[in-house]
Amino acid sequence: MVKENRKREVILPLLIVSLMIYGIVAISSAVLGDPGKEGYPLRQVLWDVIAVFFMFAVVNFKKRLLRDIAIGIYLVSLVLLAVVLLEGETIGGSKRWLDLKFASFQPSELAKLSLIVILPVLLEKPSLKRFILSVILSAVPVALIIAEPDLGTSALLVFVWLSVVFSSRLSLRYFLVVILIVFLAVPIFYFFGLKDYQRKRIEAFLNPQKYAKSAAYNVLQSIHAIGSGGFLGKGYMKGTANFLGFVPVDYSDFIVAVIGEEFGFLGIFILIILYSSVLLRMGYILSVVDDDYWRMVVVGVASVFFFHVAENLLMCSGLAPVTGIPLPFVSYGGSSALVFGIMIGLVMKAYAISQIGREVEGWIQ
């Protein structure tokens, strides 16, 4: 047996913990004075601790194990996506959550992870057959998530598929054919695949003033809160829009509104620097990974991370349609923190494997 390589990634987990701390600070302010949510900061701390545990635990898995159980993770995610459509809690007109009694879980989070680990299994040996199979395996969870409905996450899965396929050694013509099909299908999907409220969100993005009291309300309040913070903000726990409840779900989807109002442009700039540092570090790790499977895994994780950050920041600024895409490790959410923790662990694993050409063996044999 090859001895475990003790070279470990330390920069990435330090950046992630910094984001977690930032998130706890912002969430604490967002829920202050709300009797039903005052326990959220402590819950988030517990989820973050669990996420950090899994982040480091994944590094100690044998690299073959993760590849071998990829199909299992994928099948479990499909089962849970089907169950949530039948038995899930209906919140805001959507069935996205399973009530586990001790906590709620969002199966679509696991679906992201499942594509990240199974697509590289297919595409590390490129062929037309494997390419078609990757389309089918991606389309099934996308269809189930659209049925919830959750347009943001379904678009994210498509983005992950595109990113991983583009980073594989497949012929570019396969990629271009699918891009053409997607481009032609978008107008059809807009008129016949979207629900009325989803179309209104897109229309509200294009013409926010027309929907100022309905579909565009959240965004306009978010923009106002961010703008009122100026450069340095109004001060921690001194946000007017925050405490008067003008911005809905400001502890989750619109947490940037709290940060912008209380910490100003500087607070958002620091947040962007942290996220950019995470993505740059992933880029460096990608540059030193020479195993095709793990290279595509890193691309998959980076694409999910980038999509979440870009969509949420743009959404809160009125530059993208509203979706339920949270900020990684900053927005309130246990399912998101746990799955993102595992994803970061996969990137750390890829870095460990890349070091001095030796495999990493762990305590799971």
Domain positions in the chain: 11-357
What is each CA distance from 171 to 131, 174, 299, in whole angstroms?
10, 6, 18
> What is the predicted pLDDT for the residue at 343?
97
Interval 175-230: pLDDT, tens: 788 778 778 877 777 776 667 767 777 776 666 666 666 666 788 888 989 999 99
In this structure, are strands 94-99 and 104-105 parallel, antiparallel, or unpaired? antiparallel
Average pLDDT over residues 257-261: 95
> What is the predicted pLDDT for the residue at 247?
86
What is the rounded CA–CA span in Å between residue 90 and residue 70?
A: 30
The pLDDT mean for the chain works out to 87
Q: Residue 13 is encoded by which pair of tokens?
A: 């987990």
Say how many C-beta atoms besides its own lie within 10 A of residue 33's C-beta: 11
Q: Residue 248 is encoded by which pair of tokens?
A: 């809905």
Closest among 296, 292, 326, 288 to 309, alpha carbons compared: 326
On the question of pLDDT at 293 being above 70, the answer is: yes
On the question of pLDDT at 358 being above 60, the answer is: no
pTM of this structure: 0.90
Mean pLDDT is lowest, of 147-161, 181-195, 291-305, 339-353, for: 181-195
User: If DSSP codes are grouped into helix, strand and coil, which group holds residue 183?
Assistant: helix
Interval 112-123: pLDDT, tens: 999 999 999 999
